[in-house]
Amino acid sequence: MNPVAIFRHSPTENPGYFAIFLEAHRIPWTLIPLDAGAAVPASADAYSGLCFMGGAMSVNDDLPWIPPVCALIRDAVDKNIPVLGHCLGGQLMSKALGGVVSKNPAQEIGWHTIDGGTDAVSRHWLGAYAGKPLDVFQWHSETFSLPEGATLIAGNAACPRQMFALGQHFAMQCHTEMLPEIISAWCEHWDKEADASQPTVQTPASIAAEQTTRLPNMRKIADQIYGVWVRGLG
């Protein structure tokens, strides 16, 4: 099997639990650190799947790697090579496939609950979690629209579009890849990034207090989604 290419956009936005999941299932992967100047591949042919992690930048920023990344996502979709996106990665997928990324009315930081859909596509991706509240970790101020043909999988009042699926491709506004050390690293920047006046923004203390119960719940959801996604790998 060709490796899954994991694209990193920021040094602290590591693949985390997603890499652990791949290794547990003996699926090879390779890291492409765009933040360190790695080149964007011109084609998806060398990979069994593409995964895009998060980042503090916006997909609407004038960054040199964003157009070739969007072109690579379209190439993978055209060739039925599965694409997976976490937060910024999901926004890149939306943009690449004709959607729009814009400011969300609320900033979401910390542990939040989103509601899983009940339609056939949602049941396929969420399994036993379809139609149920899902514990996820958030750190975003923008949101994506659904590309043509995509199905909304989950949302909440603060951000109605949290997950979408398009065939074997899956985009998330949330972060199911989190590990305790990644959460701790992000919380070091909380003072610079968080709008503490918003009720959807948790403090680092609140994030830490809920981690013991919320993280295991999210791990089960990650296993479900990642498990469906890897079934599409060639």
Contact 218, 174 (CB under 8 A): no
Question: Residue 108 in contact with residue 86, Cβ under 8 Å?
Answer: no
pLDDT tens-digit readout, 3-13: 999 999 999 99
| Residues 96-138: tens digit of each pLDDT | 999 999 999 999 999 999 999 999 999 999 999 999 999 999 9
Write the pLDDT tens digit of every residue in 91-100: 999 999 999 9
Mean pLDDT to the nearest integer, 190-212 = 97
Q: What confidence tens digit (pLDDT) does each residue in 50-102 have?
A: 999 999 999 999 999 999 999 999 999 999 999 999 999 999 999 999 999 99
Which H or E run contains 92?
Answer: helix 88-96
**Residue 114 three-state SS:** strand
How buried is 89 (Cβ within 10 angstroms: 0-12 exposed, 13-18 middle, 19+ buried)? Answer: buried
Helix (H, G, I), strand (E, B) or coil at 196: coil
- Dihedral (CA of 202, 206, 210, 215) sign: positive
Domain covering 4-230 assigned CATH 1.10.260.30 in the classification: no
For residue 4, give both structure tokens. 């899954």
Q: How confident is the model at residue 234 (pLDDT cuts 50, 70, 90)?
A: confident
User: What is the tens place of the pLDDT at every residue in 17-27?
Assistant: 999 999 999 99
First-to-last CA distance in the chain?
7
pTM to 2 decimal places = 0.98
Q: Where are the domains of the chain?
A: 4-230
Pull the structure tokens for residue 209. 């207090």
CA distance 50 to 163: 17
Tokens of 109: 């930081």
Q: How far is CA 94 from CA 11, 88, 153, 170, 221, in A?
A: 23, 10, 14, 10, 22
